[in-house]
Every structure is written in C-alpha cells, then in structure tokens.
Structure 1
Amino acid sequence: MMYSFTEEAVITGNVAKIWAVATDVARWSEWDPHEEESRFEGEFAAGAEGWVKPKGAPAGPFTIVAVEPGQSWTSEAGIPFGKLRGHRTYEPLGDGTVRVAEWVEVHGPMGPLFKLIWEKGMRRDMPRTFAALEKEARSRD
C-alpha cells in the first residue's frame, strides 16, 4: 500500500545557491519554518544519514538514498510498519527562476493515518518552506 502527494512552486534564484541551501541539512532549522531541529554529518550523498525533528511530527533518522547533484535528491525514513520517502527536485527555468518540488510517498499501512493527521500540515508548510528556501539562498550571496 502506498499513498503520495506532491507540492511545487517557482522561486527566484540561482539553482546552485538554492541547491546548496537545500542540501545543508544541519542548517535546515535555521531557515525552514517546518523544521525544529536537524543534524547531518558527512558528504551529501547516497547512503549518508541525518536526523530531523519536524514541527508537529515525531523526530527520527533518515537516509539519503539517491542524489543527482544540482537536480534532485531522495530520502527515506522508517515509520511504523513502513517508510516515508521524499523526493525533491530543482529545475532551472532559464529566466532566473527555479521550479522546486517535493513528492512525498508513504509506504505501508500508515498511509491513511498519515493522510488524516500529517498531510494537511505538510502541504500547508511546503509553500512556506519553498519561500524560506528562496529567501535563504538570496541571503547567502
């Protein structure tokens, strides 16, 4: 059983700077209104592990499972009887803007519960996160 949803936005900025901010996991909680705390050590590559405490959700570890530098990355976290998978993409549109997207998959029997309890908050927070990403990337000039 799998449940998924996607959110996207077009933000202004340089894709390399946006990528650098988005993959600086240890600093997520400094700018992302969705994250209370985050930790990460080592290179941002498949197999690397981090830890995150989202607002309104349980804290826990995650693993980077795929990275296409400058373009996309995918992470997975264990949840009871399944896993939560997030795929993020960064697509330059050629006019100084970048399409950012996050696709969330919930695998296992927790899908309906996730939809009921957490999806609304995640969907509400994603546009705020995308706007904060744009602002943080600009501030690191």
Structure 2
Amino acid sequence: MSNTERFFFRHTTTVDADPGDIWALWVDVNGWPRWDSGLESTKFSGTFRKGSSFELTPRGGEPLEVTLRSVTEGEEFSDETILAFGTIRNAHRMRPVAGKVELTHEVEAVINKAEAVFFASEIWPHMRDGIPEALANIRGIVEN
C-alpha cells in the first residue's frame, strides 16, 4: 500500500498564434505572473534549460524552488518542485494543429497521505482551477 496520494489534471486549448510568441512567454519566467494569476512573483536569472532552478512564490504562499526537468526549445518544458509533503510536477507542451497551436498543461502532485486531505481541500483546487485560466490568458496575449 502506498503512503502517497496522486493528484493529476490536464487542460488543452488551441490558439491562433505563432509558436515563437508562446515560447517567448514561457521562457520569460519572470513574466509568468502576467498570465498566471496564481503567482505572486517569480525570480529567475539563469538560462532556460534542463537543470536550471528559479524561485516561484504562489499568491499567498511562501517562495518555492522550482527546477526545470526538461526543455525542448519551441515545443515543451517540464518542471518539478519538491516540498516537505510531496512533489509537484508540471508539463507544458505545444504542437501545431491545422495552422494553429495546441497548448497542453499538465500538473501532477504526489502528496504524502498524512497531508493529502489538507492538500486536496486547500491547495489542489487553486492549482487545478488556475490552469484553464492561465491558458486562456496566454491565448489573450498571443492572439492580440
């Protein structure tokens, strides 16, 4: 029997934009609060590549260290945050579809059972519900 609980959410949307414009938003880590209202701030001074880390402060939360786990320029990136009560992984992908761009954002949280009830009621709803909004905000920026 596992001593963790897994949470997972995926959202996909299609935008009429140049993939380069989307990629530019993604690699501008310090600008993420512009399209992700769940973020108070981000601090990144390195190169956007696998293994690089940055500080992310969720709205109303404490700063967290996030590490880029994969980066394929112009296509995808993933990141991971290791917390005292579990691990959160995000994956952001784009691919061309019929002259447009399909954007997908996935989040997976693997949380210690002892904290899973708190996480499920206090943290997860904000993370999960923020993803469609963030993708809609990206659409609003790149389609205008």
Any idea what the Cα deviations from partners look like across 1:68-116, whole Å, max 9, x if unmatched? 1111111011112321111111112132x22111111112314443332
Which residue does 1:105 correspond to in 2? 108
Task: Pick which of 12-21 and 1-10 moved more.
Answer: 1-10
Q: What is the distance in 1 between the residues matched to 2:86 and 2:36?
A: 26
With structure 2 as the length reference, what TM-score do the two structures score? 0.83
With structure 1 as the length reference, what TM-score do the two structures score? 0.85
Within the candidate set 72, 75, 81, 1:77 is matched to: 81
Within the candidate set 91, 98, 117, 2:95 is matched to: 91
Any idea what the Cα deviations from partners look like across 1:49-75, whole Å, max 9, x if unmatched? 111112244431100011111111110
5+ residue gaps, structure 2, are none
3-state secondary structure, aligned to 1:108: strand
Residue 122 of structure 1: CA displacement? 2.2
* Distance 1:31-1:87 versus aligned 2 partners, 3 A rule: closer
Q: What is the distance in 1 between the residues matched to 2:9 and 2:60?
A: 19
* Distance 1:12-1:55 versus aligned 2 partners, 3 A rule: farther
Computing the radius of gyration from Cα coordinates, the structure with the larger value is 2
Which residue does 1:136 correspond to in 2? 141
3-state secondary structure, aligned to 2:20: helix
Within the candidate set 9, 17, 32, 1:5 is matched to: 9
Within the candidate set 16, 19, 27, 1:15 is matched to: 19
Q: What is the distance in 1 between the residues matched to 2:33 and 2:25?
A: 11
Matched, 1:68 2:57: no
* Distance 1:91-1:57 versus aligned 2 partners, 3 A rule: farther
Q: What is the distance in 1 between the residues matched to 2:35 and 2:107?
A: 21
Identity %: 23
AA of the residue aligned to 1:127 = P
Q: What is the distance in 1 between the residues matched to 2:46 and 2:80?
A: 17
AA of the residue aligned to 2:56 = V
Contact 2:40 2:60 in 1 (8 A): no
AA of the residue aligned to 1:99 = E
5+ residue gaps, structure 1, are none
Contact 1:7 1:123 in 2 (8 A): no
Within the candidate set 118, 124, 129, 1:124 is matched to: 129
